[in-house]
Amino acid sequence: MKKMMLRLFIKLTSMFFITILLWSCQSATIKFNENNYIAHLKLDTSVLVATEIAHDLEVPWDLVVDHEGWIWFTEQKGSIKRVHSETSEIQKLVTIDDVFYRKSTGLFSMALHPDFENSPHVFVHYTYAITDANLMDHIFSKIVRYTLKKQQLTDQILILDAIPGRTFHNGSRMLITKDYKLFLGLGDAGGGTNLTQNNQVLNGKIIRINLDGSIPSDNPYPNNPVWSMGHRNVQGITFANGKLYASEHGPITDDEINIITKGSNYGWPNVHGYCDLASEKAYCKDSIIVEPIKAWTPTVATSGLAYYNHTAIPEWKNSLLQSTLKGQSLRVLNLNENGSEVTEEHILLQKFLGRIRDVTMGNHGEVYVAISNLDWHPGHQPWMYDSLPTSRGDRIIKLERANDAMLDQLTQIENPIELTEDAEAYALPSEDWGFNATDDELLSGQNLYMVQCAACHRPDGKGNIGQIPPLVNSEWVSGDNQRLIDVMLKGLSAPIIVNGVEYQDEMPSYQNLEDEEIRDILNFIRIEFGETNGNIIAADVLHQRKGLQ
């Protein structure tokens, strides 16, 4: 018996060392595709090679790696795709027809079933809209489940519906834990205390449900999916060290990373970041508020969040990886041993790739980041971005530690780009959201109005009672900008009510006009006939147009 045990031990030991030897040999000979080389990044002892594995994407929002090495990703416009980490083959799996895609609405987060190999289910969160008789879009979001069959996502099943939404602050980052509980971070939908501090409303919350949409019996509130409250706009979530971490956008101050605990309150909108202002101290004294473990002022627009604990990149072991949009960087946040505190922050890739939307770790310790330079924000605040690399569209980039063969490759590359850690964050420009049409734009709008619109609406904008609706003193002109843009782009065929009078004449679509021309017409009529601001910009028209497509 002892001899049998000894022989078994020797055999297993030999197999172990042979496996290690084979892995070492393979590791030493694996190379990167030089055609996809972007740069390399020097850390303390490691060199990371950055290569492109996908390009010509449009606002990839969420990244998830499966057991076979596919990197799944959503695109905000409504498509779910996956790219293979080694071959860069891209498969389009589904386009979701009822996604409402505009500036801050669309297809957002995604999670794979924890046992995906045997239960190939994919959960996604996205916005949809119900349009009323006045062509106002009432926005909601929902969670649905798909099943992967023969490289297609089919059999959509509704998990949770009618989550209140808005044109901004819909949040969205999703996570499924090993005990089959689904967490979803949601934004405040622009609401105040009546939303975020009300546990009967889902806005400004992190929710927790079972995979069939039912409510776990151990949630903090009976028959309620709310797990935590007081959030502004959660866009990062990850689980590690027995803790749930989440990152969220602040206003002008205090982007946050929080440790999320059952039934806790994180203060928004009464507390921004830490309880450090006089008004916040008073509120925190009277309420049980959990403060963040990290906050940024000015804000860097924190987005996707991942936990790194692999030996492949030793400098990043036991760290949170935080992608940033406005900050245009990857932040590596080293944690203390039990993960309760951030001990150091490292700023990497700053202003090199542009806006980084999400980050995730691969099966072998490599890291993937999704670039989001084609979203609405750079067009809305162009002065904040002196340069964004957009020639290859939005991209997915792989960062992997270089072995000896890769290091040798780097010496052969013509004009290699070597990056290092940034000593400090770059100075962000002021966020001035005040837009007003220039005199030249208003003159252009007046001339275009006379050519395109005056024959029906009259030069004075008063229209014809019962036939052509007036623009003067009309809530359609002075009200919601997005509805006004939609009317220009789509035209009108259904009856509408303006100032209590019904109008049925059809209005043609003006999609043939340039974004700048529509901007100028609408700003002219808003100022001339609506007595309000001319604050529509071409980027607003562009993203409404993209949504219609």
| pLDDT tens per residue, range 86-106 | 889 999 999 999 999 988 999
Q: Is the pLDDT of residue 341 over 50?
A: yes
Give Dmax over CA atoms of the chain in angstroms.
104
446 occurs within a structural domain:
yes
Strand boundaries in 29-120, DSSP class E:
37-42, 47-57, 60-65, 70-75, 79-84, 90-95, 107-112
Instruction: Classify residue 265 by its DSSP letter.
Output: B
What is the 3-class SS of 305-361, one letter each residue?
Answer: EEEECCCCCHHHCCEEEEEECCCCEEEEEEECCCCCCEEEEEEECCCCCCCEEEEEE
Instruction: Classify residue 294 by its DSSP letter.
Output: E
Q: What distance in Å separates the CA atoms of residue 362 and residue 28, rounded to the nearest whole number?
A: 19
200 occurs within a structural domain:
no
Q: Is the pLDDT of residue 22 over 50?
A: no
Give percent above pLDDT 90 in the chain.
75
165 occurs within a structural domain:
no
Query: In this structure, are residues 389 and 369 in contact, taking their beta carbons and an 8 Å threshold?
Result: no
SS3 state of residue 61: strand
535 occurs within a structural domain:
yes
Which are the contacts of 274, defined by CB distance < 8 A and separation ≥ 6?
254, 280, 291, 292, 295
First CA to last CA distance, the chain: 73
525 occurs within a structural domain:
yes
What residues pair up with 46 in beta bridges, in sequence order? none
CATH number of 470's domain: 1.10.760.10
The whole domain housing 446 covers 439-548
| pLDDT tens per residue, range 189-212 | 988 778 899 999 999 999 999 999
| pLDDT tens per residue, range 390-399 | 999 999 999 9
Looking at residue 25, what is its pLDDT? 42
Q: Is the peptide bond before 314 cis (omega within 30 degrees of 0)?
A: no
Q: Is the pLDDT of residue 107 over 80?
A: yes
SS3 state of residue 384: helix
Q: Is the pLDDT of residue 7 over 90?
A: no
| pLDDT tens per residue, range 363-374 | 999 999 999 999
| pLDDT tens per residue, range 375-416 | 998 988 888 888 899 999 999 999 999 999 999 999 999 999
Mean pLDDT within 61-84:
96
496 occurs within a structural domain:
yes
Q: Is the pLDDT of residue 17 over 60?
A: no
Q: Is the pLDDT of residue 24 over 50?
A: no
Mean pLDDT within 21-36:
66
Number of domains in the chain: 1
- Per-residue tokens: 496: 């509408």
Looking at residue 4, what is its pLDDT? 52
Query: In this structure, are residues 121 and 176 in contact, taking their beta carbons and an 8 Å threshold?
Result: no
90 occurs within a structural domain:
no
| pLDDT tens per residue, range 202-252 | 999 999 999 999 999 999 999 999 999 999 999 999 999 999 999 999 998
Mean pLDDT over the full length of the chain: 91
DSSP secondary structure string, 165-201?
A: --SS----EEEE-TTSEEEEE-B-TT--HHHHT-TTS
Sign of CA dihedral 376, 382, 383, 389: positive
541 occurs within a structural domain:
yes
Which are the contacts of 414, defined by CB distance < 8 A and separation ≥ 6?
none
